[in-house]
Amino acid sequence: GSGMMDMPVISVERWFDMDPEVYPLGLMPEYGFVLGASQGVSYDMSLAPRSPFFKIKVKRQPVLHTMLRHIMEKGQDKRALEIALKCSQHPQFVDSLEWLLYETVLDYDPERRKGPKHGGGANHGLASMNSNDILENFSSSSSLVSNSAISNSAVLHPSDTNLFPRVLRLLKYFGEYEDIVVRCARKMDAKHWPLLFSYAGEPAALLEQCFTSNRLYTASCLLVILQEMWGFISSTPHSLRLLEAALNKGEVDLAMELSTFLMKADRAGVLNAKQVRMKEDMSWVALASKQEHSDRKISTPQRWEFRSQVVDAQIVYFFRSALYDVKLRAIVAVSAKFEFPLAEFLRRESSLVARALMDPGDVLLKLHRQFELLEPSPQEMTDAWAFAKRKLMRLAGEGAMSNSNSATLTSSGPTAGAGTGAGAA
């Protein structure tokens, strides 16, 4: 009787529900998911009639975001941050944080101050495991994080009963914060955006942060959010800067998407020469493109029919800068993608082309690196130099002989003339 009284009381916390059609096989803490097996039916199409047969499918279910959510619901925000830092090297770590934010946004109720709801489900083995056991498995599979990595002044307030703002404060400890917010926003209905960005930060501010850190793809996604929430007027200035940055970084596909966005804004009437500071007339681009396609006898609609002078101006400015640095590969790539009349541009910028090609050796070296040409071996360079020297010496010898013959003819010319004159006399 006394032995029974001395036994410790074990509490079981249910915080994870496995897919009822999946049988759990085990936890894989190094990847952040539970591995399970399910059955399916497939048919052998080679047999007549078709014969069904069963097969085993291996499935995985993420568990990290559910675990972090459970820990934070208990008010242990600092513990959740420790676990998140230990798991930051997991392949699907960012996806887990995205799911954590997505679920808390949808369950957030600012009026009732209600905690998130949990749906029911079958309780398969791992679903009833103590959360401390799971934490130990995750901790043992990841590198240890010292308590000094988490500042004592960390802005984590477990007393705040609203999980959604606390999750955002947790996410701000990681450099992928803006990426997580944007990916989460793209997955949810636009009606939740005002709530999300009222806590996560204004889209314009997040876009500026992404632009500063050269995350152009995330910044371009924020353009769509800005346009949906406030129209083209708020997003156009940012799209111009992003287009310029994408061209300079060689992100041609992204630049094409941004140009399409700008052309829509142009057709909507929110672009003008004063806003984009255009000082040149770019109508020649469309005319030259039309002429090139008519020369090729192309009848299908081409990009020149939908050109925007704002986009063409940005391309011209980029070409001038790239030509000055002899970035010919980038110029060719952009010209091919945008169907830009490169020949007409080079004709108009002939003086700039001449200045860029003043040093042939430097130009050849840059072309060699840009197009990743194989470098010649030292022996090949020696042989080429010897051949060039022999060629130059032969040319120099032929030139000297030609000069001597010309001098002889010149000196004999008056004598012969004098003799002829004397004979005539």
325-351 pLDDT, tens digit each: 889 999 999 999 999 999 999 999 989
pLDDT-based confidence at 310, cuts 50/70/90? confident
Q: Does the pLDDT of residue 141 top 60, yes or no?
A: no
- Quick: pLDDT tens for 205-214: 999 999 999 9
Instruction: Concatenate the DSSP letters of all residues of 71-118 into one string.
Output: HHHTT-HHHHHHHHHHTTTSTTHHHHHHHHHHHHHHH--TTTTPPPP-
Strand partners, 26: 35
Average pLDDT over residues 21-42: 85
**Whole-number Cα distances in Å, 118 to 66, 69, 121, 401:** 11, 11, 9, 99
pTM: 0.69
pLDDT-based confidence at 393, cuts 50/70/90? confident
- Quick: pLDDT tens for 78-98: 999 999 999 888 888 999 999
Would you state the pLDDT for residue 316?
94
Q: Does the pLDDT of residue 417 top 70, yes or no?
A: no
Average pLDDT over residues 42-61: 79
| Helix, strand, coil tally for the chain in percent (to 5) | 65, 5, 30
- Quick: pLDDT tens for 222-245: 999 999 998 888 888 899 899 999
Would you state the pLDDT for residue 243?
94
